[in-house]
């Protein structure tokens, strides 16, 4: 069984207008070395109920992990190793970096300690749009950061944001063109999501235009050899994110730090647990747990942060995560994990969706069609199971 660790680093230079991730402007949160001390305590607490094993992946996400001193990132990798969560030469270690937060010296420290994948928050190469959403960098700085990564022949991924207010199809095409030219091996296009009434909800491309924008991205990337392997992820073959795949193929992972989520298999249908979103509360909780013995997250965390899944929840998760992948839901895996009547019910639902041309069946897998991709929310709704339904 593969196993990975997500480490949340909640520091940003400034807050982007659209972002509601658990992250703070760096001056409004405790210093990074103190936060990393809390992470060490959390590792010590969690290791009591999770057997040491070598890690397939580590993912430093944020926030802006590249903002804190690089030796702190290294210290986290070493601390995990000291509890037996060791890395191997083939462990995928990803760090999210924002343009203009990395230099030769930082990069060398990362590379000397096994970091081998860089996820660059480029978003767009249009300076007007970057400014509009309060990004702290401009396109020139993004290109400089990419020059540095390319000079070391590194594996990097891009996040691209689309359907921004006043963004044009031509502008988006230009973003995708630059992303490809710059040598990214993996591209994650995200459609801007903001609640109604948010300042960025005005002047946005309408739904049909958003679909058209996604199609343009998909067509341009496919023409250049990228393969869509998940709803919003494209990669050159062999460069898929192994860490994100853990989330979609029912493998366990730990989430460390503010707001981070974990999924492990210790109860019959799997267990989810998660950390609090506010830094003050997170700090309080970690300090309160110090020195205590725990044999399970159930004994460790308040019930509001812990869920031993019931079968209907595990089934919903299984269907949603596997249908996010273009290779789709593996019928054999479904039958292995769930009782016969459940597996039959899911397949009969999928056959109904096949009639609507939202899903297709091929080689033992059910996957989304082109129409199903556009209407994926409806497909997921059909594959959501409530208590007592199965």
User: Nearest-CB residue to ligand SAM?
Assistant: 121
Q: How far is CA 174 from CA 97, 119, 224, 373, in A?
A: 22, 20, 14, 24
The answer to whether 146 and 179 are in contact (CB under 8 A) is: no
Chain-centre distance of CA 13, in angstroms?
21
Find which of ligand SF4, ligand SAM, none residue 15 binds, CB within 5 to 8 Å per kind. Answer: ligand SF4
The stretch near ligand SF4 (CB under 6 A) out of 57-65, 218-226, 280-288, 311-319 is 57-65
**313 near ligand SAM, rule: CB under 6 A:** no
Question: What 3-state class would DSSP assign to 125?
Answer: coil
Chain-centre distance of CA 4, in angstroms?
12
Q: Which residue has the tokens 């609507």?
A: 356
Residue in 47, 63, 53, 84 with CA at minimum distance from that of residue 14: 63
State both tokens at 119.
């996820």
**23 near ligand SF4, rule: CB under 6 A:** yes
Question: Quick one: DSSP state of residue 205?
Answer: P
**189 near ligand SF4, rule: CB under 6 A:** no
**15 near ligand SF4, rule: CB under 6 A:** yes
The stretch near ligand SAM (CB under 6 A) out of 60-68, 70-78, 175-183, 350-358 is 60-68
**24 near ligand SF4, rule: CB under 6 A:** no
**16 near ligand SF4, rule: CB under 6 A:** yes
Q: What is the CA radius of gyration of the chain?
A: 21
- Taking CB under 6 A as the criterion, which residues in 80-139 touch ligand SF4? 98, 121
Residues 6+ away with beta carbon under 8 Å from 248 = 230, 321, 322, 324, 325
CA distance 266 to 271: 6
The stretch near ligand SF4 (CB under 6 A) out of 10-18, 104-112, 227-235, 326-334 is 10-18
User: Which one of 2, 19, 216, 375 is in contact with ligand SF4 (CB under 6 A)?
Assistant: 19
Q: Which is nearer to ligand SAM, 64 or 275 (CB)?
A: 64
For the bound state, the minimum distance from the C-beta of residue 338 to ligand SAM, rounded and expressed in Å, comes to 32
- The residues that touch ligand SAM, with contacts defined as CB under 6 A, are 18-19, 21, 62-64, 96, 98, 121, 123, 159, 161, 190, 192-194
């Amino acid at each position: 069984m593969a196993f990975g660790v997500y480490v949340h680093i909640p520091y940003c230079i400034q807050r982007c207008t659209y972002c509601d991730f658990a992250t703070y402007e760096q001056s409004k949160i405790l210093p990074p070395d103190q936060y990393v001390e809390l992470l060490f305590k959390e590792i010590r607490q969690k290791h009591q109920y999770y057997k040491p094993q070598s890690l397939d992946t580590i993912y430093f996400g944020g926030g802006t992990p590249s903002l804190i001193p690089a030796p702190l990132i290294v210290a986290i990798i070493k601390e995990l190793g000291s509890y037996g969560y060791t890395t191997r030469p083939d462990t995928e270690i990803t760090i999210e970096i924002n343009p203009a937060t990395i230099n030769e010296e930082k990069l060398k420290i990362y590379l000397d300690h096994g970091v081998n994948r860089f996820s660059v928050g480029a978003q767009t190469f249009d300076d007007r749009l970057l400014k509009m959403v309060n990004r702290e960098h401009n396109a020139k700085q993004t290109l400089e950061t990419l020059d540095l990564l390319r000079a070391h022949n590194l594996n990097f991924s891009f996040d691209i944001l689309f359907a921004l207010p006043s963004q044009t199809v031509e502008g988006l095409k230009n973003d995708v063109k630059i992303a490809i030219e710059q040598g990214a091996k993996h591209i994650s296009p995200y459609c801007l999501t903001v609640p109604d009434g948010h300042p960025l909800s005005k002047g946005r491309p309408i739904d049909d235009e958003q679909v058209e924008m996604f199609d343009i991205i998909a067509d341009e990337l496919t023409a250049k050899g990228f393969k869509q392997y998940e709803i919003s992820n494209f990669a050159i073959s062999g460069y898929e994110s192994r860490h994100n795949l853990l989330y979609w193929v029912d493998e366990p992972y730990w989430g460390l730090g503010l707001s981070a989520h974990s999924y492990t298999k210790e109860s019959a249908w799997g267990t989810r647990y998660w950390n609090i979103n506010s830094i003050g509360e997170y700090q309080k909780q970690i300090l309160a747990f110090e020195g205590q013995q725990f044999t399970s997250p159930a004994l460790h965390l308040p019930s509001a942060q812990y869920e031993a899944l019931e079968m209907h929840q595990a089934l919903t998760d299984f269907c949603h995560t596997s249908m996010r992948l273009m290779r789709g839901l593996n019928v054999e895996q479904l039958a292995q994990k769930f009782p016969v009547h459940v597996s039959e019910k899911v397949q009969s639902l999928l056959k109904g969706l096949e009639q609507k041309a939202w899903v297709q069946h091929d080689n033992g897998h059910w996957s989304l069609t082109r129409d199903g991709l556009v209407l994926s929310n409806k497909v997921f709704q059909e594959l959501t199971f409530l208590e007592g339904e199965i």
